[in-house]
């Protein structure tokens, strides 16, 4: 048997309760911790620590379940983090060119709108976001009715 053993050499059972039933599987080396509590809450899993368990080792089945939940959680999180889609095609060529020249994006002179849109979209994805700066610029714009980002020509 490969299960985790207690100090008294007794093979331990999984520390979790699944759907309010004690898990009867043998405990492995995976440990129930704070991160797992968060994951269980986030993913609405019907798992909790068996209050009678004197250890925090889980069985391999629950370890795998939680592993999958973690991947799922990360994937959803990435989706949430991704900026909302902006349709750059709605911008005028003039605006796209302004963006391009502000950020010194290399582009050929005769670039058509589609190529400009691509370049701007690619560049936008790489921009770090400084909220304070954005808010300050916005306030400046409202007060002065001008755009701080415009280069003085
Ligand atoms: Zn289990």
Name the residue ranges covered by the structural domains of the chain. Answer: 16-81, 88-144
Position 148 confidence tier, pLDDT thresholds 50, 70, 90? low
Distance 8 CA to ligand 1 centre (A): 21
Residues 12/26, Cβ–Cβ less than 8 Å:
yes
- Beta-carbon contacts of residue 93 (< 8 Å; ≥ 6 apart): 113, 116
Determine the Cα–Cα distance for residues 54 and 47; give it in Å rounded to an integer: 17
Distance 55 CA to ligand 1 centre (A): 13
| pLDDT confidence of residue 153 | 47
Residues written for the chain: 153
pLDDT digits (tens, 9 = 90+) for 12-51: 999 999 999 999 999 999 999 999 999 998 888 999 999 9
How confident is the model over 116-145, as a mean pLDDT? 85
Query: Hey, CA dihedral for 96, 101, 105, 110, is it positive or negative?
Result: positive
Average pLDDT over the chain reads: 85
Residues 149/137, Cβ–Cβ less than 8 Å:
yes
Distance 34 CA to ligand 1 centre (A): 17
What pTM did the predictor assign?
0.50
Q: What is the CATH number of domain 16-81?
A: 3.40.1800.30
């Amino acid at each position: 048997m490969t299960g985790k053993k207690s100090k008294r050499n007794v093979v331990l059972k999984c520390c979790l309760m699944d759907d309010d039933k004690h898990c009867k599987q043998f405990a492995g080396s995976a440990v129930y911790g704070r991160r797992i509590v968060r994951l269980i809450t986030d993913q609405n899993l019907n798992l909790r620590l068996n209050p009678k368990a004197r250890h925090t080792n889980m069985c391999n089945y629950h370890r795998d379940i939680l592993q999958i939940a973690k991947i799922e959680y990360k994937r959803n999180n990435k989706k949430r983090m991704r900026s909302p889609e902006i349709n750059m095609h709605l911008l005028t060529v003039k605006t796209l060119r302004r963006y391009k020249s502000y950020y010194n994006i290399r582009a050929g002179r005769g670039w058509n709108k589609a190529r400009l849109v691509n370049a701007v979209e690619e560049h936008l994805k790489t921009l770090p976001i400084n909220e304070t700066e954005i808010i300050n610029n916005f306030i400046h714009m409202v007060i002065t009715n001008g755009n701080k980002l415009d280069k003085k020509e």
